[in-house]
Amino acid sequence: MDDLGEKIKSDAAESAEAVSSMLEAVGNKVPGLIKDVMGSLYSREVGSSMGQAVGAYYKELISAGIPEAAAVAMATSYSFSLKDLNTQEFGQNRRGQGGRGFTARHGADDGEA
pLDDT per position as a tens digit, 80-98: 765 665 545 555 554 455 4
Sorted by where each begins, the domain ranges of the chain are: 2-96
Instruction: Answer positive or negative: Cα dihedral of 82, 83, 85, 86.
Output: positive
> So what's the pLDDT on residue 91?
54
Cα 97 to Cα 12: distance, rounded to the nearest angstrom: 50
End-to-end CA distance of the chain: 48
> So what's the pLDDT on residue 111?
46
User: Is this structure's pTM higher than 0.85?
Assistant: no
Instruction: Answer positive or negative: Cα dihedral of 27, 102, 99, 83.
Output: negative
The DSSP code for 71 is H
